Amino acid sequence: MNKKYILVTGAAGFIGYFTCKRLINEKNNVIGIDNINSYYDVNLKNTRIKDLKNTSFKNGNNLEFIKLNLEDNFKLNKVFDKYRPEIVIHLAAQAGVRYSLINPKAYIDSNILGFFNILECCRNFGVNHLLYASSSSVYGGNKKLPFCETDSVDSPSSLYAATKKSNEIIANSYSHLFDIPMTGMRFFTVYGPLGRPDMAPMIFADAIMNNKPIKIFNYGKMKRDFTFIDDIVECIIRCSLKTPTKDLILENFPNQSLNLNAPHKILNFGNSSPIQLMDFVEILERALNKKAIKEYLPIQQGDVEETEASVKNLQKWIDFIPKTTLKEGIQIFAEWFIRYTKNEA
């Protein structure tokens, strides 16, 4: 009997690592792809891959990891041709709002060309369901809160957000033209252990523990819908098991934006509990048992003041919504961070 595979791009990334680990532990055959680039600490990425391989060994060697750039269409096609994955979870991307001001080409290469190559492979090799990472950043400077999937997303505040909006439009076209079921996942400020070093929890924790000032942008007048990694992975797994169809979309979500009678669903993955930035800092200080040195600065170009996810559609679709409180999640993160930095020393 032929093996059935789930292919995950961005396997060495934060969300990709935890998604792969869950899939491996549930005895799925996983193809993990990542280019292990140097956008942030390669050692952290290698730590994640090492753990995935160890987890795979304990579960009957059910992971194949392939180092690959998604822009390399020839090699990507060879992977799809060899393994013929039934489900693709596309989490690879050039991340970060602020870095897009420095290196915009990286975002076009990875987020536009790389995504196009994934779509072409899904079309040519008969993938049953493509799930892909979008972002809360597509909502830009929308003033209406909470953000809902039917809201306008025509005013992205950064190039990163613009590439994610482009992904949604192109995905909808492919889904409509070639009848490929797709789920777009708008992630809201994901955090947790082994998280991205360019995100606030890691940046702030590192600065606090090393007696360096943390940069408080917009003078602290910002709110974020922090969403714990375990909740995000639960949403991904549940969505992977529910394939969108034209009838389901039209019947249950008639007002969804980008609806061309395509089997394409876009959902917010958020905690729906926005937290003031200064409250976040206080929770982190308590978890680390150390006070922060604070440096107050104006808002950075490309940033938005507030995010909040409406998760009514998510609840309706998969009967689950993120529920980990920031206090609970930051405690888990802080305990890991202290262990990790001790091992690095």
Q: Would you please indicate which residues are annotated as catalytic (active-site) residues? A: 160
8 A C-beta contact, residue 308 and residue 223:
yes
The SS3 call for residue 278 is: helix
Q: CB count, 10 Å around CB of 316?
A: 12
User: Which ranges of 245-302 would DSSP assign to H, the alpha helix?
Assistant: 246-252, 277-288
Residue 164 to residue 135: CA distance in whole angstroms? 7
In sequence order, what are the residues at sequence separation of 6 or more whose Cβ sits closer than 8 angstroms to the Cβ of residue 30?
5, 6, 7, 8, 20, 23, 24, 56, 62, 63, 64
Report which secondary-structure segment, H or E, holds 63.
strand 63-67
Asked, as a colleague might, if the bond just before 263 is cis with ω within 30 of 0, I would say no
Residue 147 to residue 304: CA distance in whole angstroms? 13
In sequence order, what are the residues at sequence separation of 6 or more whose Cβ sits closer than 8 angstroms to the Cβ of residue 273?
225, 325, 326
Pairing of strands 129-135, 227-228: unpaired
DSSP labels, 115-148: HHHHHHHHHHTT-SEEEEEEEGGGGTT--SSSB-
Query: In angstroms, what CA-CA distances link 312 with 24, 252, 271, 319, 334?
Result: 30, 12, 11, 10, 30
